[in-house]
Chain A
Amino acid sequence: MHSAEPEQDMATFRREVLDFVAANLPPDIREKVRCNDELQKDDHFRWQKILAARGWYCAHWPREAGGAGWSPLRRYVFEQALAEAGAPWMLPFGPAYVGPVIVEYGTDAQKRRFLPDIIASRTAWCQGYSEPGAGSDLAGLKTRARRDGAGWRVTGQKLWTSFAHWADMMFCLARTSDEDRPQNGISFLLLDMRQPGVTIRPIVTMDMRHHVNEVFLDDVFVPEENLVGREGHGWEIAKFLLSTERLIVAETGKARRLLAQVRAIAERAREGGEPLFDRPVFRRGFVEAEIALQTLEAYCSRLLKRAARGEQPGYEASLLKIRGSELLQTITALGAGVAARTGLGLDPALAAGQNVPADADAEMAGLLREYLSQRAASIYGGSNEIQHNIVAKARFGFQ
């Protein structure tokens, strides 16, 4: 990790990222992001490869793993600038989740086999954590891995599995033994999705999109070499994974872009003949969202400065998660408020004789869909109530 990175460098780097996106993001993808249209797997992979060609994909990995050894600060600046510039959200499952786990806990063979395929966008991953009976209480998971020769047979049901329908591989938590505590006896397994016994059932969420799935595993084989870390010690790895993600949870770059979009559509929208943006009560709501955004940015900067001095965040990550999710919900609610004046249209209206929706309508519909999908932000990754429990225990020692 770099110990000191002058702020000036970061400002220059941020500019460089914004310019790169402006020059290299394919226009069709840019348009989809602007209107929050559904991105396809190919859209994501095309963009990942463009970033990889620049050396900016998985760059936060250590050099020996194929990354550029970026500091948390550089990575944060990079990801926020990408989002602010209108680049697609980065699928985290390979580069941010399983990649760092393999770097930390994987064998040399696992590193050789899996990491280059992530960097080259040859493999798509998904995360098999939640189950019907194990949501907030993840340790209550019931998916079972039964010893079978040189591996395991996995049987169970995973739920809310994002982009399982695109995935070649799943990293999953499965119970390899029953122990005194539910956290013990869980193993971290890498499971090939392209084999018999894996059934994926789509779930349409209230934004009328298909991101998440149910995944049924029926006697699915996982070879021994796909166990990461020690058998029965998967919980520790799951916690490590959370810790590597700590400072990235607050999507301030995306929030900045969405807030600018809300402003633009509220300046165009009319209320009693004047711009909605100039109506005092609407403006007050907008100012509150701006205040929340800049406060979150200030908090991120503070924690990143501390991280640069070697003080790694602990409970603060949970606080970021709480505020980060609230912020996206607040901003998109403003967008939904504008859309409410024209009937909450989820599919943008088409002008007569045209098949392209009006700009403002398309952006409004996008914000509305985002409002609906962002309800998940305070639920996934440990609900905001669970984050409160975590902080109460970690910071105050409350039981």
Chain B
Amino acid sequence: MTSPEDLTALRDHAFRWVDQAYGEAKERAGRGLAEGYDPGMAAEIAGQGWLAVMVSAQNGGMGGGLREMAAVMEAVGRGLVAEPVLSQGAIAAPLLDRLGTPQARQRLSSVLDGASVAVMIHQEADAGFERTITSSRLSEEDGRFHVDASKAPVLDAAGADVLLVTALDAAGRTAIVAVEADAPGVRLVRSRSVDGRMFAAVELDHVAVPVEAVLSAGADASAIVETVLEEATLLVCAEACGAMPILVDGTADYLRTRSQFGRPLASFQVLQHRMVDMLLAAEEASAVVEAALDAADGPERKRAFALAKIVTARSARFVAQQAVQLHGGIGMTDDLRVSRQFRRLMQCETMFGDADWHAERFDGLRG
């Protein structure tokens, strides 16, 4: 944990960087590329330490926690950063750090210095938002390991050189296996997502891996996977919380400058009230994320995380839809940032479970 002053400094620095160094051109630079982002920019981001925020000091990280990474993810949402910060800094790095085995630490150091993009491949093709795996297998015959799995599309997998695949071993334990993306038997089905970033569904057909590729080294990694997914869910909420205020203020600015019927749109009460509702939605999202970050360990913490996703998802949808509505036709265009924020917020809203899915969890977690 860092001090409150360090946290503020980290957040301010990240915000300044996206405001000054990262702009609309950079945001769109990866659009035509196979990775969905600019690899050069990805290396630059790794170089400024964003991927190491949640990694323990002994593994070469900053030793921060969720709070620190949430500040970085807010900046990602604020600037619509396309490079893999969530998949690397918020998922792969803490996963490898928590695994802590020598082979995991080796993979981790390549991620942190930007030499490798490792993407966790967990959810199965037919699982929907459910997080349990049932058909992904790690088998062992005569000391040789093989992986068979059919996984759902994952952000940034298209640009990954290493896939961190979850699979059940013969004893039913969850293993984490590092699979080279170009290994025989690996098939990536690439797709471009609504927000321009690339996803890939991964099919593994009896892919042979060496023993050192089994990063969990015989231990059951299911608790680690669950924690990483839980935290990633909150971090994607933080990303949305970074994007929403930009949309709120941007829309208010637009209403001040655009005139219809001979007066500024900002003078129409119905639009003023809509802006207040957007502001309220954005503030509520920030409040529930903060409450989840503050929650003490225990059953209420899980509920606080579910609540954070429910409220953030709904707020993200409302704010984005109303921003387009209040901009009118121009808000529909790809060229205006509003529509790109709209599409990024669609990702934040639904990734790791939408509001309905989390509402069911929230209901099930009642004391």
Contacts and interface: CB of A to CB of B under 8 A. Distances in A.
Interface of A: 283-284, 287, 290-291, 294-295, 297-299, 301-302, 316, 319, 322-323, 385, 388-389, 391-392, 395-396, 398-399
Interface of B: 252, 255, 266-267, 269, 272-273, 275-277, 279-280, 283-284, 286-288, 290-291, 294, 303-304, 307, 310-311, 359, 362-363, 366
A319 B283 contact: yes
Given A283-B363, A301-B294, A399-B267, A295 B272 contact: no
A398 B280 contact: no
Contact of B310 (A291, A385, A398): A291
Contact of A302 (B255, B287, B366): B287
B283 A299 contact: yes
Contacts of B284: 295, 298-299, 323
Main secondary structure of the interface of B (DSSP, over half): helix
B286 A295 contact: no
Nearest to A291: B310
B276 A395 contact: yes
B330 to A, nearest CB: 20
A298 B291 contact: yes
Contacts of B290: 298, 301-302
Contact of A316 (B273, B283, B304): B283
A287 B291 contact: no
Contact of B273 (A302, A323, A385): A385
A302 B286 CA distance: 9
A299 B279 CA distance: 13
Contacts, number: 78
A396 B287 contact: no
Contacts of A291: 307, 310-311, 359, 362
Nearest to A286: B363
A295 B287 contact: yes
Contacts of B311: 291, 295
A316 B284 CA distance: 11
Contacts of A290: 362, 366
Contacts of A399: 266-267
Contacts of B307: 291, 294-295, 298
14 contacts: A284-B359, A294-B291, A295-B287, A295-B288, A295-B307, A299-B287, A301-B290, A302-B286, A302-B291, A323-B280, A388-B273, A389-B272, A395-B276, A395-B279
Contact of B272 (A297, A302, A396): A396
A323 B281 CA distance: 11
A239 B275 CA distance: 24
A291 to B, nearest CB: 6
Nearest to A263: B366
Contact of B275 (A294, A298, A299, A392): A392
A101 to B, nearest CB: 28
Nearest to A302: B287
A290 B291 CA distance: 15
A277 to B, nearest CB: 11
Nearest to B271: A398
A323 B311 CA distance: 14
Contacts of A389: 269, 272-273
A298 B366 CA distance: 17
A396 B294 contact: no
A388 B276 contact: yes
A398 B272 contact: yes
A295 B287 CA distance: 7
B275 A287 contact: no
B52 to A, nearest CB: 28
A294 B303 CA distance: 10
